[in-house]
Structure 1
Amino acid sequence: MNVDEEYTAYVSARLPWLRKIAYPLCQDWHRADDLVQTAITRLYVKWRQARAADDLDAYVRTMLIRVFLAEQRGGWFSRVRLTSAISHQPSEGGDRDMAMDVSRALAAVPPRQRATLVLRFHCDLSVEQTARALGCSTGTVKSQTARGLAALRAMLGEQESRLVRTEEC
């Protein structure tokens, strides 16, 4: 198998996995596809180096997270949506209302905290693995995780209290 075929086989197999990581970061399937496309394009350029990595999936996941964070640092024009429609794929079982509430709350968390939460809880990475992926210390991961969870709890608590007040009326 030549190098291009090897790259194509890897990307074809891991594309759904990459989309599942990208979506919680940006809360939009179209934007998630754009993030994944940018990451796999960068992967193609660095494929010879990347395929020699000890953990190729971790290498690619780190690329995807860094693409997301770099986009967040970009100008406002790179984040403007031209449509107000939100594209959501139905969740697989579970409480859909709760999933939507969590998605909305996660979207409101600052990007660095959101990336930390996605890596820790969606990708199930350890503090050390998350620190390597984000290029920061384990202490930063712990503080970003704590702040992100506190923000989520506060937002979800506000939504719950608004719901209770509405039902009382």
Structure 2
Amino acid sequence: MTRRDRREPEFTEFFGAHAAGLRRTAYLVVRDWHLAEDLTQQAMAKLYAAWGRTRPATRLAYARRIVVNECLSHLRRRRPETAFETVPDLAAPTAGDSPLDLGRALELLPPRQRAIVALRFLEDLPVDEVARVLGVASGTVKSQTSRALDTLRRHLPDLAEELS
């Protein structure tokens, strides 16, 4: 059996087991399901190309790093928003709207902080692993986590007690 013959089923199994989680992480960073799907696919293509150079024990961490890097790169390349002379009126909240809107609060975070929150709390990774995935120091992960949680506490006061 050639290396290519082994790579196909290994990669297919890996993709089936981890694509959904990687897509969730991408979504938390870019805040768009379709874009998260596209960026996850791009990351998987890069992983497939590097498959033979990766170790089975570190493939998931490598895949996370590729996904987060793809998301952050996309957000850096994104066109700036168009300015308008007047701000459109916002819809008034209805009785069924909840003041607890985690999605809107996450949009207040810079992309790197969203990535850290996604990896720390969605993927449940320890600080050192998040630092390895993002290629930053552990102290940076700790300080950015603290800043992100402070922002979320300010904008989601109902969660303040749960996040403490």
Q: TM-score, normalised by structure 1?
A: 0.74
**Alignment size in residue pairs:** 140
In structure 1, the gaps of 5 or more residues are: 81-95, 159-169
Residue 28 of structure 1 deviates from its aligned partner by: 1.7
Residue 4 of structure 1 deviates from its aligned partner by: 2.1
* Aligned counterparts, 1:101-140, within 5 A: 101-140=101-140
Deviations 1:31-68 (A, max 9, x none): 11011111101111111112x25322111111111111
Q: Structure 1 CA distance, aligned partners of 2:34 and 2:78? A: 19
Does residue 1:155 correspond to 2:158, yes or no?
no
Residue in structure 2 matching 1:36, options 31, 40, 48: 40
In structure 2, the gaps of 5 or more residues are: 83-96, 159-164
Residue 152 of structure 1 deviates from its aligned partner by: 1.2
Q: Max radius of gyration: which structure?
A: 2
Contact kept in structure 1, 2:25 and 2:115, CA below 8 Å:
no
Contact kept in structure 1, 2:30 and 2:75, CA below 8 Å:
no
SS at match of 2:57: coil
Q: TM-score, normalised by structure 2?
A: 0.76
Q: Structure 1 CA distance, aligned partners of 2:30 and 2:101? A: 15
CA RMSD of aligned residues (A): 2.4
Does residue 1:26 correspond to 2:30, yes or no?
yes
Does residue 1:15 correspond to 2:19, yes or no?
yes
Which residue pairs with 1:88 in the alignment? none
Q: Structure 1 CA distance, aligned partners of 2:56 and 2:101? A: 38
Q: Structure 2 CA distance, aligned partners of 1:129 and 1:144? A: 15
Residue in structure 2 matching 1:74, options 70, 74, 77: 77
